[in-house]
Structure formats: structure tokens, C-alpha cells
Amino acid sequence: MTAPPTALTIAGSDSGGSAGMHADLRTFFACGVHGMTAVTAVTVQNTTGVSGVVEVPAETVAAQIDAVASDIGVGAAKTGMLASAATIDAMLAACDRHGIGRDGRTPFVVDPVAAARSGEPLLHPDALDALRNRAFPRATLVTPNLDEVRLLTGIDARTRDDLLDAAKAIYDFGPEWVLIKSGHLPDDPECVDLLFDGTAALPLPGPRYATEHTHGAGDVFASAITAALAKGASVPDAVRGGKRFVTRSVADAYPLGSGVGPVSTFWRISPRSY
Ligand SMILES: Nc1ncnc2c1ncn2[C@@H]1O[C@H](COP(=O)(O)OP(=O)(O)OP(=O)(O)O)[C@@H](O)[C@H]1O
Ligand SMILES: Cc1ncc(COP(=O)(O)O)c(N)n1
């Protein structure tokens, strides 16, 4: 028996099981990749929102990365909720030690999670600079949604035509690639995301489903991309595959609790098996 490819998520937990590292691990599994975690924060969360956050000490986040990278090896890594500048800096130092990111060549996807879908902050405002100026330049790919674009650049993208300006502004912080997610575009009948490498823009078309149950969609998208990168795919192929994966997951999203339900990764394992 040989070991499968490996991927690491550096992210927060969601007690409701819909978003964060729970969604990441589910996606890694569904994509045939062995998933590992460096937990940054424990959130008290359900389908109605986040009612508490306990941050893991920055040195423990770094120690988790050291532990898995030095023993198991990391095929590709992604970030989710990073909570604080101290955690971002400790994470980046650990990633440097193990060749994760930019010049170390292990693919590194930075999903700049700033808030939960329900609105509660998941990142201290004073961590934005660390994300923009220290994490982005090390990233293979940065994957903001439109709220994160607004927070990080001040650009208020309202139509498909605004996405290229948003991508250029994020690209200026130094990542290799930028993926702008279009789920929050108001009044667009489709979900056309945009991938940009500083020169060419590749639109990623997809349908828009009439569901409110999209909790974890961004996490699942970034994780499916990371899994494909761990298997050796190019960035455009990984992003195209990730888009197919998340679109199907949104199509099968299910209601849960009294709030917003999660996108589903069940379809990939055994459709309608529950
Ligand atoms: N209603 C929908 N129907 C189909 N695809 C969708 C829908 N909503 C979002 N998506 C897709 O899901 C992916 C995640 O996009 P989104 O902009 O929602 O990111 P996000 O805000 O980080 O996700 P989250 O919902 O987890 O906060 C994108 O590919 C987007 O186009
Ligand atoms: C621990 C954690 N990480 C990330 C998200 C973002 O996911 P969403 O935007 O779907 O709420 C979340 N709610 N919780």
C-alpha cells in the first residue's frame, strides 16, 4: 500500500461541522487526499452563527505545522481562519522552515477568511496588514470573496466587470495567482469567478443555485483546489476542478438546524447515502 497525497489546513474549527477545518478535512477526504490540521482557533458555532472564539497560542499553531511537516510531509497547504497577526507570523515562519509557499515550491493557498457568513469577525482588524503584506507575497494563490476584497483593498465590486480590478488590486500584494469568488455578487444570475496571474484573466463560469445553504462554500472550494495541487495539478487545472467540485457541492447543499446549512460533499462519496 502506498500513502495518498497529503494536504494541510491551517484553520479554525466549527463545532457545527459545516465550515472551517471540518469542511476542509471532508473535502480532502472526498478528493482522495490525506488531510492534516494546524488548528488556529476553536469556534463555538452552529448554523445560526458564532457565539465564542478561543484562540490557540501562536507557538502551538507553529508546532502543529512543524510536527506534521517534519514527519509526514505536506503536499500542499491552505489557510482558513487565522485570527491574529501573531498566528500569521508564527505560521509563516513555520512554513518557511518546511518549504511551504512561494520559493519553497510546496503550493500554498491563502484563503483570507475575515468573517463568518453570519457576520461575526474571525480575524482581528490589526491582522489585515500581516495578511496583505506578509502572507500574500508567499502565496501560490489567494482566494478572497467580495467582502474580503472590500476589506483588503477598499474596492466595492458590484458587477462581473469589477472583478478584474479587484483581482489586480490583490495581485499587487504579491501572490502568484488570485481567484476572486463571485458568490456575493448581487443580482447576477450566474456565479462566474475570475482567476488572474498578473497578465491573463480566466473566467470560471458556473450556475447560481437558489439556495441559502452555502455555509462552508469558500472553504470547500479552497480545499478542493489544495487537494488537486497536492496531486500535482497546475493552478488553472486545480481551480477549474475545484470550481466543478464546489458547484456540485452547492447543488446538493442541505438544510441543517434553524439557520444556514452547509454545502454537501456527500455526493462525491456515495450520493444520497444518508
Ligand atoms: N448560490 C450559489 N450557486 C452556485 N455556486 C455558488 C453559489 N454561491 C456561491 N457559489 C460558488 O461557491 C464558491 C464560493 O464562493 P463565495 O463567493 O460564496 O465564497 P465565500 O464567501 O468564501 O464562501 P462562504 O459561503 O463559505 O462564505 C464560488 O465558486 C462561488 O461562485
Ligand atoms: C472556523 C471557521 N472558519 C471559516 C468560516 C467561514 O465560513 P463561512 O463564510 O461559510 O461562514 C467559519 N464560519 N468558521
Q: Which of 34, 46, 99 is nearest to 72 (CA)?
A: 34
| Per-residue pLDDT reduced to its tens digit, 68-90 | 999 999 999 999 999 999 999 99
Question: For ligand 1, is residue 218 a contact (CB within 6 Å)?
Answer: yes
Q: With a threshold of 0.95, does the pTM exceed it?
A: yes
What pLDDT score does 103 carry? 82
Please state whether beta strands 141-142 and 108-110 pair in parallel, antiparallel, or not at all (unpaired).
parallel
The sheet carrying 6-14 orders its strands as 49-55, 34-46, 6-14, 76-79, 108-110, 141-142, 177-180, 193-196, 201-204
Q: Which atom of ligand 1 has the smallest separation from the CA of 211? A: 1
Reported ipTM = 0.98
What pLDDT score does 186 carry? 83
- Please compute the mean of the pLDDT values over residues 170-195 and round it to a whole number: 96
Judged against a pLDDT cut of 90, whether residue 273 lies above it is answered with no
Best mutation site among 10, 25, 39, 43 for ligand 2 pocket (most ligand atoms within 8 Å of CB)? 43
Give 70 Cα–ligand 1 centroid separation in angstroms. Answer: 34
